[in-house]
Amino acid sequence: MGETPVRSGCEAHDAVVANLPAGTPVEIRFRLADGSDCIKIAAKSGASEVVGYVSSSALAGLDVFEKERLSARATEPVAAPRTLVADRAKSMARGRDPEIERARDLLQSNQPQQAMEILEPAVQRYRNNASVLLLAGLAAYRMDELDTAIGYWKQSLDLSPNPSLEGIYDRAKREAAADPASERLVGMHIAVRYARQAVPVDAARAILDMLDEEYARISGQLGCSSSERIVAIVLDRAAYLRSTGAAEWSGGWYDGRIHIAWTGEKTVGAQMRRGLAHELVHACLTSIPSGDVPWPAWLQEGLAQKLSGDKLEAGTRDQLQRLAHTHQLPRLEELHPDWSRMSAGEARTAYNISLAAADALYENYSGDSLRNILRNPENLGQVTEELDKKLGF
């Protein structure tokens, strides 16, 4: 009967903390939102509990977990606020008030404080305008002022029912009730809020330093910049799950702010760095104007995987090329924006295609060329066609 090594981390050189016999029941704790094939598990070994990391290939019966994981990941609320901003601003008779249009653009580029400077007096001018109240709530939410956001959104919903806003409003109320974080640290690019009773101050500082370092690296490659700091909220795992409603597997979440599940590790290691980098790519892309529609999912997830250090195995890359040549894969522009409609296998393929596309993007365009594409979203269609050809479609 074979045994599976459980390691202290996800690298081959990490220490083995236990060897579990085949068939040992395990509890899947989580897989970080970084595209990793490594899963944290807990299991009984004799009278002791073993906690560590194994490869997903060592786990049987993973299909249900994978379906939940991939579906939840595909429905992270990255695009939802952007869509609300675009749709509701258009409903105000575009151009009638250039100040509101300016606030919308600021929100689209992830600059909520500047947007709020416009929206606060606008709320007084448009007391019965649900769209202005909705935008003001989004600005407050991005600024991490939950009570203010909830107040604006309640007024907006009282004036005009909106199913999309109702979902975000309910999530904000749940977060406000479950989020105990009150301590704050401020860095160059990031502001961290954390719960001192659950997250040691040294760990919070290490997370802040890591976020600042990773944002500087990612922004240097993609060209994102903002005069406003990105908010990151660090909670213990239980509070993180209660406040975000995220899937059990998740270790990070971006909805205009970064939410981080602190798992009590002694150090802020490579796995957390990868997860943080993944969420920072979403934050970075949010701050780069993409026009009237969000950046496509393949670009979001491809760059998030690429810049967090994920790599396609040679066998996976070869399989993608074979399937592309025989027209068994969707082209990049054919990938549906809502990946939650995919099966687990389809979603896994979509992430692999996206990472392959990101690799090809870096091969074709680097440095200023890549940043120039992101500054000119109207050219993305032509770039997508070029990548399709390179991928074998």
Asked, for residue 336, whether it belongs to a domain, the answer is yes
- Which range among 40-44, 121-125, 188-192, 305-309 shows the weakest confidence by mean pLDDT? 40-44
Report the alpha-carbon distance of residue 74 to residue 57 in Å, rounded. Answer: 22
Q: 384 Cβ partners below 8 Å, 6+ apart?
A: 296, 332, 333
Residues 94 and 33 grouped into a single domain: no
Query: The domain spanning residue 154 has which CATH number?
Result: 1.25.40.10
pLDDT for res 37:
67
User: Which whole-number Å values give the CA distances from 32 to 13, 163, 178, in the listed order?
Assistant: 20, 30, 22
281 and 322: one domain?
no
Tens digits of residue pLDDT in 15-24: 888 888 887 8
* Cβ neighbours, 10 Å, residue 267: 9
Query: What would the pLDDT profile of 270-293 be if each residue is shown by its tens digit?
Result: 878 888 899 999 999 988 988 777
CATH of the domain at 213: 3.40.30.160
Q: How far apart are CA 129 and CA 110, in angstroms?
A: 23
Are 52 and 92 found together in one domain? Answer: no
Residues 35 and 86 in one domain: no
Question: Considering only CA atoms, which of 88, 87, 72 is closest in space to residue 33?
Answer: 72
Q: Per residue in 320-352, pLDDT tens?
A: 989 988 888 889 998 877 676 666 677 788 889
The angle formed by the CA atoms of residues 76, 129 and 131, to the nearest 5 degrees, is 20
On whether both 193 and 275 belong to a single domain, the answer is yes
Judge whether 292 lies within some domain. Answer: no
Residue where a domain terminates, one of 178, 195, 210: 178
pLDDT tens digits along 240-270: 888 887 766 667 788 889 998 887 776 777 8
Beta bridge partners of 55: 38
d(C-alpha 89, C-alpha 172), whole Å: 21
Task: Tell which residue, 216, 224, 188, has the closest CA to residue 110.
Answer: 224
Q: What are phi and psi of 258, to 5 degrees?
A: -95, 130
Instruction: Specify if 72 maps to a domain.
Output: no
Q: How confident is the model at residue 74 (pLDDT cuts 50, 70, 90)?
A: very low
The pair phi, psi for residue 286, each rounded to 5°, is -60, -30
71 or 156, higher pLDDT: 156
Residue-level pLDDT at 94: 46
Question: What is the model's pTM?
Answer: 0.76
Residue 88 counted as domain residue: yes
Q: 27: helix, coil or strand?
A: strand
What tokens does 61 get? Answer: 């019966």
The pair phi, psi for residue 308, each rounded to 5°, is: -95, 5
- Name the pLDDT band for 83 (thresholds 50, 70, 90): low
Q: Does 54 fall in a domain?
A: yes
Query: At residue 25, does pLDDT exceed 80?
Result: yes
Q: Are residues 105 and 32 in the same domain?
A: no
Statement to judge: residues 232 and 282 lie in one domain: yes
Does a structural domain hold residue 73? no
Q: Lowest mean pLDDT: which of 205-209, 218-222, 299-303, 334-338? A: 334-338
Number of structural domains in the chain: 4
Q: Where are the beta strands (DSSP E) in 198-315?
A: 230-236, 252-254, 258-262
List strands edge to edge, sheet with 26-30: 16-21, 3-7, 48-55, 38-45, 26-30
Which of 116, 148, 178 is the last residue before a domain boundary?
Answer: 178
The H-or-E segment that residue 16 falls in is strand 16-21
Of the residues 232, 253, 286, the one at which a domain ends: 286
- Identify whether residues 276 and 189 lie together within a single domain: yes
pLDDT of residue 76: 44
Average pLDDT over the chain reads 83
Type of residue numbered 198: A
Same domain, 324 and 255: no
| Domain containing residue 48: CATH number | 2.30.30
Are 122 and 134 spatial neighbours (Cβ–Cβ below 8 Å)?
no
163 and 189 together in one domain? no
Number of neighbours of residue 179 by Cβ within 10 angstroms: 20
Residues 191, 249, single domain; the answer is yes
CA–CA gap between residue 318 and residue 146 (Å, rounded) = 47
What is the predicted pLDDT for the residue at 121?
A: 94
Left if phi > 0, otherwise alpha if psi is -120 to 50, otherwise beta: which for 327? left
321 and 368 share one domain = yes
Instruction: Please state, in angstroms and rounded to a whole number, the distance separating the CA atoms of residues 353 and 18.
Output: 35
Percent of the chain's residues with pLDDT above 70: 85
Q: Please state, in angstroms and as integers, the Cα–Cα distance from residue 189 to each residue in 224, 228, 232, following that order.
A: 11, 7, 10
Within-domain flag for 383: yes
d(CA 276, CA 274): 5
Residue 239 domain-assigned? yes
DSSP 153-212: HHHHHHHS--HHHHHHHHHHHHHHHH----EEEE-SSEEEEE-TTTS-HHHHHHHHHHHH
**Lowest mean per-residue pLDDT among 113-117, 342-346, 375-379:** 342-346
Query: What's the domain range around 134?
Result: 80-178
